[in-house]
């Protein structure tokens, strides 16, 4: 049967019209799968706020990479223990000013005007006006009116070591395409399972910088972390072999072995 199908495929591949139709069908099928997996960026309905309420009460430390004006961090602070600490990174000047003002009276919070990646130095950053949420290190992702400027860049490993933290209970990464680079910059922490759990955003700009979800999942699995798709109803098992890359907006949560007993009972299966 497989040989017959192979022969049929070769014959059909020589028909330009058939190939054109198949390409259109493939693109529509990909879009349907993308719609199934992607989500809205509204944290109130995409599962993020629900996850905060589940995980924050168990956290003493958290890091927000790409904090923008601090909406996510404010929600996390409300749910975490009173003695908890937060470290917020935001390279955009306008957004960081708002961030500083927002948490100026909260001694638990430190804000840093820098980007995170897998190297230390400086990089070109494309900053949108009015604290735009798609300001990015990825040129093609930011809006056309974005201003280009150089920003300091560090790694999560280095930032945590400089502050003398033994571990980080939770890390949220929203780096507009540079999320995998941020993960690679936390290799030491991940290798020693010093991050309890983390959340990262996956979307179209990953393709622009050559990152793939498959590589990120393998990277985290290599350190013992299990990764799940975050949806409105909670965490779902994600079968990469079935779905592959879809480059649509979604959030994934990676859990260390230490937290697995707490999280396992709530894990759901994404169907089909």
Q: What does the pLDDT look like over 99-146, one tens digit per residue?
A: 999 999 999 999 999 999 999 999 999 999 999 999 999 999 998 899
Do 71 and 140 fall within a single domain? yes
| Residue 187 near residue 222, CB atoms below 8 Å | no
Q: Say what the pTM is.
A: 0.95
pLDDT digits (tens, 9 = 90+) for 17-64: 999 999 999 999 999 999 999 999 999 999 999 999 999 999 999 999
Rounded CA-CA distance 5/21 in Å is: 18
Sign of CA dihedral 43, 44, 47, 53: positive
In the predicted structure, residue 1 carries a pLDDT above the cut 80? no
| Residue 70 near residue 102, CB atoms below 8 Å | yes
Range of the domain at 245: 41-269
Do 11 and 89 fall within a single domain? no
Do 166 and 208 fall within a single domain? yes
Strands 109-112 and 168-173: unpaired
Nearest to 106 by CA among 86, 90, 80, 76: 86
Position 272 confidence tier, pLDDT thresholds 50, 70, 90: confident
Do 83 and 9 fall within a single domain? no
Do 53 and 168 fall within a single domain? yes
Rounded CA-CA distance 259/170 in Å is: 11
Do 118 and 3 fall within a single domain? no
Do 101 and 11 fall within a single domain? no
- CATH code: domain of residue 140: 3.40.50.150
Helix (H, G, I), strand (E, B) or coil at 89: strand
For the chain, what is the domain count?
Answer: 2
Position 255 confidence tier, pLDDT thresholds 50, 70, 90: very high
Q: What is the pLDDT of residue 149?
A: 95
Sequence-distant (≥ 6) Cβ neighbours of residue 37 within 8 angstroms: 229, 243, 246, 248, 250
Do 264 and 133 fall within a single domain? yes
Q: What is the pLDDT of residue 92?
A: 98
Q: What is the pLDDT of residue 3?
A: 84
Do 261 and 170 fall within a single domain? yes
Rounded CA-CA distance 90/115 in Å is: 6
Do 125 and 19 fall within a single domain? no
Q: What is the pLDDT of residue 2?
A: 77
CA atoms within 13 A on the CB side of 234: 11
Do 133 and 20 fall within a single domain? no
| Residue 125 near residue 92, CB atoms below 8 Å | yes
Do 143 and 9 fall within a single domain? no
- Tokens 């190297």 — which residue? 119
């Amino acid at each position: 049967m497989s040989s017959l199908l192979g022969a049929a495929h070769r014959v059909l591949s020589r028909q330009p019209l058939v190939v054109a139709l198949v390409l259109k069908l493939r693109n529509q099928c990909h879009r349907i799968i993308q719609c199934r997996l992607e989500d809205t960026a509204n944290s109130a309905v995409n599962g993020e706020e629900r996850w905060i309420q589940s995980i924050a009460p168990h956290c003493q430390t958290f890091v927000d990479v790409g904090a923008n004006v601090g909406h996510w961090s404010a929600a996390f602070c409300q749910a975490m223990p009173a003695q908890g600490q937060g470290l917020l990174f935001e390279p955009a000047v306008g957004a960081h000013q708002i961030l500083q003002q927002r948490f100026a009276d909260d001694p638990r919070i430190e804000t840093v005007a820098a980007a995170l990646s897998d190297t230390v130095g400086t990089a070109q950053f494309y900053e949108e006006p009015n604290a735009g949420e798609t300001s990015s290190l990825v040129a093609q992702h930011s809006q056309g009116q974005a201003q280009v400027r150089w920003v300091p860049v560090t790694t999560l490993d280095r930032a945590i070591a400089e502050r003398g933290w033994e571990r980080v209970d939770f890390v949220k990464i929203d780096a507009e395409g540079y999320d995998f680079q941020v993960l690679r910059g936390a290799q030491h922490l991940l290798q020693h399972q010093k991050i309890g759990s983390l959340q990262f955003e996956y979307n179209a700009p990953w393709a622009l910088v050559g990152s793939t979800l498959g590589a990120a999942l393998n990277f985290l699995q290599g350190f013992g972390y299990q990764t799940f798709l975050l949806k409105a109803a909670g965490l779902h098992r994600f079968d990469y072999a079935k779905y592959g890359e879809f480059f649509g907006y979604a959030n994934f949560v990676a859990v260390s072995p230490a937290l697995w007993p707490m999280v396992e009972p709530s894990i759901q299966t994404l169907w089909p």
